[in-house]
Amino acid sequence: MQKIIDFIKQIFFTNDFIPLHEPRFIGNEKKYLNECIDSTFVSSVGKFVDQFEKEFALYVGSKYAIATVNGTAALHISLLLADVKKDDEVITQPLTFIATCNAISYIGAKPIFVDVDLDTMGMSPKSLLDFLENNCEIKDNNCINKTTRKIIKACVPMHTFGHPCKIEEIKDICEKWNIVLVEDSAESLGSFYKNKHTGTFGKIAAFSFNGNKIITSGGGGVIVTDDEVLAKKAKHITTTGKIPHPYEYVHDQIAYNYRLPNINAALLVAQMENLDNFLTSKRQLAKIYKEFFSNENITFIKEPANSKSNYWLQAVLLNTKKQRDEFLEYSNKNGVITRPIWKLMNELDMFKDCQTNKLINAKYLEERIVNIPSSVRL
């Protein structure tokens, strides 16, 4: 294992501590922050919010983008806009970050877990279809769970570590079963499936700009959609439901204080200017890792077929859980931060009673996947 530690330190040009993923502020961040501060518009109104939304929508190929305070808020609102209500059910994957299930739970809906594919680590269309055909029926244009008799309103696949799942197949299945497709694209800015950016296949999608994401404003998120009505509603309910007026305070519904502050948007505008450089660096790093691990009897996770991945977090697949645990312990003790993939959501106390399909692949990956240092190299 020392050979691996030495190699990672070599490619990051240091013998010191190496984090898993640290942000890079190498452009106009300080300039735009100072400009924002000087303007005094540091809250949810300001030119940087508007500029970022326009630039982000253009980049991913969506008609509208609505900036939010974080990715979880973006997904929460996306599910509300998909008409998910209390006691509805939402199909998702067990191999995901907790935010996916938290957003579902905020509404009072309940997740259902189907398996992932080994090659994408994202939702398996085969497992999704198998669950629907064996457990559901269409009644009054709704997908009804025959076990619980509840409506399955939405499906939330996640593009794991930036690797696109088989989103086109999932979309076709959702349309057949009258289920709204909401993409959790939190990790996949800069990733494409069949030359189409992730987050633009479903009715609505959410991205994240947390401190460890490929671009960041410390926090931040964004909702994207091609639906003008949904976009206007998203902006309204993320801004406390306030009716526009020069001075009156009138709110027409219970809503949320989820808008991204202008000072954070200033950071994101600067970060977007370097996004292509970040992506190039990450793909170069993936190539270096792939070549190295091919000689180490360790599988490097490469982008799936028909995809171009942002390689947000680089990952390797160890041969056994024991080998994974030894790798994690040794690397972290020697100043190279590595992390396991998430514990399966259905194994957490909050979701252990949720309905599942067979989760064979998800369990296999949970026991073997490790993330290795993935920062943009300078």
Which tens digit of pLDDT belongs to each residue from 269-314? Answer: 999 999 999 999 999 999 999 999 999 989 999 999 999 999 999 9
pLDDT at position 152: 98
- Decide: 313 and 162 in contact? Cβ < 8 Å: yes
Contact 130, 357 (CB under 8 A): yes
* Adjacent-strand bridge partners of 286: none
Does domain 2-23+275-343+367-372 correspond to CATH entry 3.30.2350.10?
no
H helices present in the chain, as ranges: 2-11, 29-39, 47-60, 71-81, 98-106, 125-135, 167-176, 228-237, 262-273, 275-293, 321-333, 360-366
pLDDT above 90: residue 260: yes
Neighbours of 235 (CB within 10 A): 17
pLDDT attached to residue 378: 87
For 70, 128, 362, the CA distances from 135, given in Å and listed in that order, are: 34, 11, 20
Nearest to 184 by CA among 32, 22, 267, 73: 73
Contact in structure between 135 and 378 (CB atoms under 8 Å): no
Mean pLDDT of 131-149: 98
Task: Note whether 67 and 208 are within 8 A (CB).
Answer: no
Q: Helix 71-81 vs helix 228-237: angle between axes, to the nearest 10 degrees?
A: 130
Q: What is the DSSP letter of 247?
A: S
Domain ranges of the chain: 2-23+275-343+367-372, 29-274
How many Cα atoms sit within 13 Å of 375 on the Cβ side? 20
Say whether 29-274 and 2-23+275-343+367-372 share the same fold: no
**pLDDT, tens digit (0-9, with 9 covering 90-100), for 192-238:** 999 999 999 999 999 999 999 999 999 999 999 999 999 999 999 99
The topology under which CATH files domain 29-274 is Aspartate Aminotransferase; domain 2 (3.40.640)
